[in-house]
A and B are shown apart, each in its own frame.
Chain A
């Protein structure tokens, strides 16, 4: 067990932080969604990587094998992926509608338009 053998966790952390950074730092609405997707992907990795047990084989009952890898995380992540897809689809749909309503998908331009509208009222 060394730092290097935990490389999957390093990748996880990197993706997590990168994803969050993109969400916070980028003003383009679609890029935020991409960042969100990256963030969610890191979580998938967080679940699946520990699922592979050392010396474990594929989770299908067979003669002569005693240690099986854990299939449950895969199941959970399939669910999470579906949720992620639904979220992404919904997010993109809202972005399309925002584009129709505001003419832009840049966050600061949208906020500027809202502020101008408020001042006029």
Chain B
């Protein structure tokens, strides 16, 4: 009986744990429930993934109201992959959070962060699993509002400003999205994604659709930090608590990318997209601009978190680059990078959380000589950095492979040059860290500090190992990504 309700439970369980945490208020209970619900969510997501692999698309009608009038949860090859990614990240980040949050937040506020964490998880999972456009908006706002709160809980007062800025930009983005789906609803009369895909073909007037397409792109673009709508990200990542940064960097933008993919390929289909509007060119230009400028800016940062935040903007550029190429290799590269980058950045930010704990700050002057004092942390960061560059043996290499392959298949040799040259820029800022950590004399203020606590280090290294694992055994990641890509491209015809 529970098996058929799994899609609903995927969202409901984290959702009800949030008010439970607020009711009980104890810090240990909050943490324990957050961990429990993350692990259960992971189990559900994996079960759904395997089920989809066996039987195909799973649909679930909320409240037994049949679609397209009722809200439908629809799990296919693409979103089951994203569900696993989000819940896996949560499952690793939640146990890590105990010591990190205890260090970074006042005791009375800790339970609030865990409540918001559960809400955010529910929101992200909801966005991924739902098959109704307006439902996406609702869950999008649930996830975003809880994210704003989590960021505002950061230690410094700049966190408040960052949260406010993100709130303004994020709400504008969400509202643009609502305008877009409003136009779509007006033209077709349905909110259900699968139904919409069918009805769009029969619509006579194309102009409202183009307008809707533009609004949705801008709206979701704000959420996924597409250049030049990425301004909120560096501050938000830099000033939020370390756990929050790690969780967000691995999930929030990835889920927004999923929404974009869903709209582009399942709803709009390539016919309208690339024929009526120069979408691929615009997306290509914006992606390249994002990759190059963000990587360059990252090289000059003094704060490690900010540096890797800009790196995230660049990496998201890679994802949208693959989308703009719109062939199987490109889409595979984009979808697989959701996981690869999620794991890499999650590992990096979790390790940085350990540094923040031990050294007090994460600026380069505090980091000198850290290779000796915190060897496992530093080495883990090196591996994460190599993955960002795209060295074989790490997850990032797989993505680079597919993106270059996609560019070659399209005949864009200049794009190949851009992709590989940007890897060198990434090498630039990664190597700044390596030199500071290993080739510089230690900073006197932090000489006595040791390695990060075992629980934090352990869970961070789970992600580091995942980073290497998904660089070598790609049967899950590329397999799922490719299946999703084929589904999307095939369905879009």
B164 within 8 A of A: yes
Encoded as 1 (CB less than 8 Å from any B CB) or 0, chain A from 60 to 91 comes to 00000000000001001001100100110011
Q: A32 touching B172 by the CB < 8 A rule?
A: no
A20-B172, A43-B178 known; A98-B164 Cβ under 8 A:
yes
Q: B172 touching A39 by the CB < 8 A rule?
A: yes
Partner of A101, one of B145, B157, B175, B185: B157
Q: B164 touching A87 by the CB < 8 A rule?
A: no
- Enumerate chain A residues within 8 angstroms of B163, measured Cβ to Cβ: 94
* Alpha-carbon distance between A102 and B157 when the two chains are bound, in angstroms: 8
* Alpha-carbon distance between A91 and B149 when the two chains are bound, in angstroms: 10
- Enumerate chain A residues within 8 angstroms of B175, measured Cβ to Cβ: 39-40, 43
Encoded as 1 (CB less than 8 Å from any A CB) or 0, chain B from 148 to 163 comes to 1100100001101101
Residue among A32, A73, A80, A114 with the highest chain B CB neighbour number at 10 A: A80
* Alpha-carbon distance between A40 and B164 when the two chains are bound, in angstroms: 17
Q: A101 touching B160 by the CB < 8 A rule?
A: yes
A36-B168, A79-B134, A86-B145 known; A94-B178 Cβ under 8 A:
no
Q: A50 touching B145 by the CB < 8 A rule?
A: no
- Enumerate chain A residues within 8 angstroms of B157, measured Cβ to Cβ: 98, 101-102
* Interchain nearest-CB distance for A37 vs B (Å): 10
* Alpha-carbon distance between A43 and B175 when the two chains are bound, in angstroms: 7
Residue among A46, A73, A94 with the highest chain B CB neighbour number at 10 A: A94
Q: A94 touching B172 by the CB < 8 A rule?
A: no
* Alpha-carbon distance between A50 and B164 when the two chains are bound, in angstroms: 33
Partner of B149, one of A33, A76, A90, A114: A90
Interface residues on B, range: 20 to 34
- Enumerate chain B residues within 8 angstroms of A40, measured Cβ to Cβ: 171, 175
In the complex, what residue of chain B is closest to A89 when comparing beta carbons?
A: B145
Chain B interface mostly:
helix
Q: B148 touching A94 by the CB < 8 A rule?
A: yes
Encoded as 1 (CB less than 8 Å from any A CB) or 0, chain B from 395 to 439 comes to 000000000000000000000000000000000000000000000
* Interchain nearest-CB distance for B301 vs A (Å): 13
Q: A47 touching B182 by the CB < 8 A rule?
A: yes
- Enumerate chain B residues within 8 angstroms of A39, measured Cβ to Cβ: 172, 175
Partner of B161, one of A36, A73, A91, A98: A98
In the complex, what residue of chain A is closest to B183 when comparing beta carbons?
A: A46
A36-B172, A90-B145 known; A97-B182 Cβ under 8 A:
no
Q: B171 touching A46 by the CB < 8 A rule?
A: no
- Enumerate chain B residues within 8 angstroms of A101, measured Cβ to Cβ: 157, 160
* Interchain nearest-CB distance for B183 vs A (Å): 8
A95 within 8 A of B: yes
Query: For chain B residues 177-232, which have a beta carbon within 8 Å of chain A?
Result: 178-179, 182, 185-186
A46-B182, A80-B178 known; A91-B134 Cβ under 8 A:
no
Query: For chain A residues 20-74, which have a beta carbon within 8 Å of chain B?
Result: 20, 23, 29, 32-33, 36, 39-40, 43, 46-47, 50, 73
- Enumerate chain B residues within 8 angstroms of A50, measured Cβ to Cβ: 186
* Interchain nearest-CB distance for A20 vs B (Å): 7
In the complex, what residue of chain A is closest to B151 when comparing beta carbons?
A: A94
Q: A94 touching B152 by the CB < 8 A rule?
A: yes
Q: A83 touching B141 by the CB < 8 A rule?
A: yes
Q: B168 touching A114 by the CB < 8 A rule?
A: no
A46-B179, A47-B182 known; A23-B160 Cβ under 8 A:
no
22 residue pairs A–B, Cβ–Cβ below 8 Å: A23-B168, A23-B172, A36-B172, A39-B175, A43-B182, A46-B182, A50-B186, A80-B137, A83-B137, A86-B141, A86-B145, A90-B145, A90-B167, A91-B164, A91-B168, A94-B148, A94-B163, A95-B164, A97-B152, A98-B157, A98-B160, A110-B161
Nearest 5 CB-CB pairs, A to B?
Answer: A101-B157, A83-B141, A98-B160, A94-B164, A47-B182
| B contact set with A: CB distance below 8 Å | 134, 137-138, 141, 145, 148-149, 152, 157-158, 160-161, 163-164, 167-168, 171-172, 174-175, 178-179, 182, 185-186
Other A-B contacts than A23-B168, A36-B172, 6 sampled, CB-CB below 8 A, are A29-B164, A32-B168, A83-B174, A87-B141, A91-B164, A94-B148
